[in-house]
């Protein structure tokens, strides 16, 4: 069951505050699967498979909201989608598969949000998402395959609002997002992607919002992996991507203030692997990005404050990207692996200001491998491989740049 609170003050003479107290404990495994057997369709194939241990959705408009949420996942979550096609997939198809331990989504419009969100995934569970398209003798127009696995995730949304929120996340789960596609002929674009994260926090503020968030993340599982594999006979545009992160904080705002305090600790082995092949191709891409800890604080308004502490140790960080084909036009692969990554920016045209305190320590191995192979003829072929222990980027920029 998904607890949901939606409060609206429109049409009332006096807005009342909203209080949310949420406590959830999941002890049994969560499993969701589906198989689609398709001969031939005209418009396309759609599939949505989700498995979530604990989920919270709360929203308020014109009403101040105070929220306290405690979520504990002590079991496994698994989502599996398999699509078998023998003829044609039609003009456009989208296959989405997601598995999540704990999920919290809170948003306000023209009001203020305060509170504490706590999420715990214990040692025993695994969070696994698997999405596959098997169409060795079939054709497709546009094809999207998205596979996502996250142990803990929290999303905060502000529209002309303000927030003061603390988020605490602890995960000891193994996380896997595995998938891919095998298709004979793709006349449009095939976009196959996988995302895996131990702990994830996202904030989006728009329309003159202001936010202060404090985030504490600890990821002590053995593995966080996103792995995607594709093979095409002939593809106009083929993109295969994998993104894996131990701890992720992404906060972007449009307004007077964005204040982010992040403390991240990762000891899991983080692996992103994207491998694509096409006998004939117009454009073929393979991109892999793996990071132990990542923090982004960006404000297109006046001020950014970032207090960031990152420690990556233990299993290591690895990114592997590979694209190969026989003949075509443009092909590339890009692999990026980072132990700790921090980025902050503010708006120069609004007399932007920035205050940053950043401490990064990486004691794990970091490796990136990129391979691009064209056995016949090609127009533009390149490959990029980047491995960084600690990376920090702080700048002031104009909106749109």
pLDDT per position as a tens digit, 171-201: 999 999 999 999 999 999 999 999 999 999 9
Percent of all residues in the chain with a pLDDT value above 70, rounded to a whole number? 94
Average pLDDT score over residue span 296-307: 94
Buried b (16+ CB within 10 A) or exposed e, 380-390: ebebebebbbb
| Residue 10 domain-assigned (yes or no) | no
- Tally of domains within the chain: 1
| Residue 1 domain-assigned (yes or no) | no
Structure-token pair, residue 50 = 């989700």
Average pLDDT score over residue span 27-38: 96
Question: Which of 233, 238, 237, 323 has the alpha carbon at shortest distance from 274?
Answer: 323
Rounded distance, CA 337 to CA 96, Å?
26
Average pLDDT score over residue span 383-394: 96
pLDDT of residue 264: 98
| Residue 6 domain-assigned (yes or no) | no
pLDDT of residue 396: 83
Rounded distance, CA 323 to CA 329, Å?
13
Rounded distance, CA 61 to CA 81, Å?
36
Rounded distance, CA 299 to CA 206, Å?
10
| Residue 43 domain-assigned (yes or no) | yes
Rounded distance, CA 263 to CA 218, Å?
8
Average pLDDT score over residue span 246-255: 97
In tens, the pLDDT along 76-99 reads 999 999 999 999 999 999 999 999
Question: Which of 103, 101, 96, 102 has the alpha carbon at shortest distance from 130?
Answer: 96
| Residue 8 domain-assigned (yes or no) | no
| Residue 49 domain-assigned (yes or no) | yes
pLDDT of residue 4: 53
DSSP 208-268: S-EEEEEEEEEE--SEEEEEEEEEEEEEEEEEEEEEEEEEEEEEEE-SSEEEEEEEEEE-S
In tens, the pLDDT along 195-234 reads 999 999 999 999 999 999 999 999 999 999 999 999 999 9
Q: Which pTM does this prediction carry?
A: 0.94
Structure-token pair, residue 152 = 């803990």
Lowest-pLDDT range of 18-22, 271-275, 291-295: 18-22
| Residue 112 domain-assigned (yes or no) | yes
| Residue 2 domain-assigned (yes or no) | no
pLDDT of residue 400: 56
pLDDT of residue 43: 92
What domain range is 354 assigned to? 17-397
Rounded distance, CA 310 to CA 302, Å?
26
pLDDT of residue 1: 43
State the pLDDT confidence band at 352, using cuts at 50, 70 and 90: confident
Within 10 angstroms of residue 351's Cβ, the number of other Cβ atoms is: 10
Give how far Cα 47 sits from Cα of 33, 35, 82, 239, 317, Å: 10, 9, 9, 20, 32
């Amino acid at each position: 069951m998904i607890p949901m609170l939606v409060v609206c003050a429109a049409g009332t003479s006096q807005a009342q505050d909203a209080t949310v107290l949420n406590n959830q404990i999941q002890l049994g495994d969560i499993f969701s699967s589906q198989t689609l057997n398709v001969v031939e369709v005209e418009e396309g194939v759609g599939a949505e498979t989700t498995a979530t241990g604990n989920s919270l959705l709360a929203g308020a408009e014109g009403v101040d909201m105070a929220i306290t949420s405690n979520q504990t996942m002590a079991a496994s979550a698994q989502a599996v989608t398999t699509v078998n096609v023998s003829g044609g997939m039609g003009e456009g198809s989208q296959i989405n598969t997601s598995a999540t331990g704990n999920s919290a989504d809170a948003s306000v419009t023209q009001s203020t949000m305060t509170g504490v969100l706590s999420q715990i995934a214990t040692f025993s569970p695994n969070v696994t998402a698997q999405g596959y398209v098997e169409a060795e003798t079939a054709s497709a127009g546009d094809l999207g395959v998205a596979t996502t696995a996250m142990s803990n995730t929290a999303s905060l949304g502000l529209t002309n609002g303000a927030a003061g929120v603390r988020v605490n996340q602890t995960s000891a789960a193994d996380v896997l997002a595995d998938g891919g596609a095998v298709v004979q002929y793709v006349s449009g674009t095939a976009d196959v992607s996988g995302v895996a994260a131990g702990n994830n926090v996202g904030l989006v503020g728009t329309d003159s919002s202001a936010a202060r968030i404090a985030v504490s993340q600890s990821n002590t599982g053995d593995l966080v992996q996103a792995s995607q594999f594709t093979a095409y006979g002939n593809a106009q545009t083929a993109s295969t991507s994998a993104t894996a992160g131990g701890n992720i904080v992404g906060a972007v705002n449009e307004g007077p203030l964005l204040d982010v305090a992040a403390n991240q600790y990762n000891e899991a082995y983080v692996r992103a692997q994207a491998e694509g092949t096409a006998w004939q191709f117009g454009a073929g891409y393979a991109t892999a990005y793996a990071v132990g800890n990542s923090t982004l604080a960006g404000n297109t308004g006046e001020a950014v404050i970032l207090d960031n502490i990152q420690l990556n140790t233990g299993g290591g960080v690895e990114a592997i990207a590979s694209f190969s084909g026989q003949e075509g036009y443009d092909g590339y692969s890009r692999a990026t692996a980072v132990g700790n990554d921090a980025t902050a920016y503010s708006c120069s045209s609004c007399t932007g200001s920035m205050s940053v305190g950043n401490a990064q320590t990486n004691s794990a191995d970091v490796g990136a491998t990129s391979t691009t192979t064209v056995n016949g003829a090609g127009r533009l072929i390149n490959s990029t491989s980047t491995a960084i222990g600690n990376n920090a980027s702080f700048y002031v920029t104009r909106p749109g740049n």
